[in-house]
Amino acid sequence: MPGRPLPSRRTVLRSAAATPVAGLGLAACSPGDDGAAPARPTAPVDLGAEGAVAGGEAKLYRDENVVVSRGEDGALKAFSTVCTHAGCPIKKLEGAKLVCPCHGSEFDARSGEVLHAPATVALVELPVEVKQGRIVVSPGT
């Protein structure tokens, strides 16, 4: 029967071996099993005691995908820690620098600004306030 020649055994085995490797590469770039992490909380989140963030420092709240920093003047700022490049949740804070595990983007935890590409857009700023001595972050608009 005329048609294309059948692939060799070697070609079939190479293709089968490469398939799982390609899948691992795609999985490493994805933020989770169910897609990108939400860029902001869906409701107000109580992050704990106001004193948990000292002046001039930042604290990463991994489970909530939020970072809170306090300026030397005592003012609080909060940002989503979902990378603006590919939607990966950022789980690493080095001093005041957030480092995305997916592609290496870096952000300033005090301003949300991009410090290192591939991200080009700053982190989403979130409304933050102190209520009854507790830090509360809201989804905002």
With respect to residue 77, please indicate whether it lies within any of the assigned structural domains: yes
C-beta separation of 40 from 54 below 8 A: no
With respect to residue 52, please indicate whether it lies within any of the assigned structural domains: yes
pTM equals: 0.74
Residue given tokens 């948990």 in the structure block: 52
Q: Mean pLDDT lowest for which of 3-12, 105-114, 118-127?
A: 3-12
pLDDT of residue 17: 47
pLDDT band at 133 (very low <50, low <70, confident <90, very high): very high
With respect to residue 57, please indicate whether it lies within any of the assigned structural domains: yes
Spatial neighbors of 65 by CB under 8 A, at least 6 apart, are 37, 38, 41, 80, 81, 82, 89, 90
With respect to residue 21, please indicate whether it lies within any of the assigned structural domains: no
- Tell me the C-alpha distance between 140 and 124, whole Å: 10
Structure tokens of 105?
């983007």
| Domain housing 64 | 45-137
With respect to residue 130, please indicate whether it lies within any of the assigned structural domains: yes
- Of the candidates 138, 80, 86, 139, the one whose C-alpha atom is nearest the C-alpha of residue 109 is 80
| CATH code for the domain in which residue 88 is found | 2.102.10.10
DSSP 8-state class, residue 83? -
With respect to residue 116, please indicate whether it lies within any of the assigned structural domains: yes
With respect to residue 29, please indicate whether it lies within any of the assigned structural domains: no
Structure tokens of 40?
């902001």
pLDDT band at 15 (very low <50, low <70, confident <90, very high): low
Total structural domains in the chain?
1
With respect to residue 53, please indicate whether it lies within any of the assigned structural domains: yes
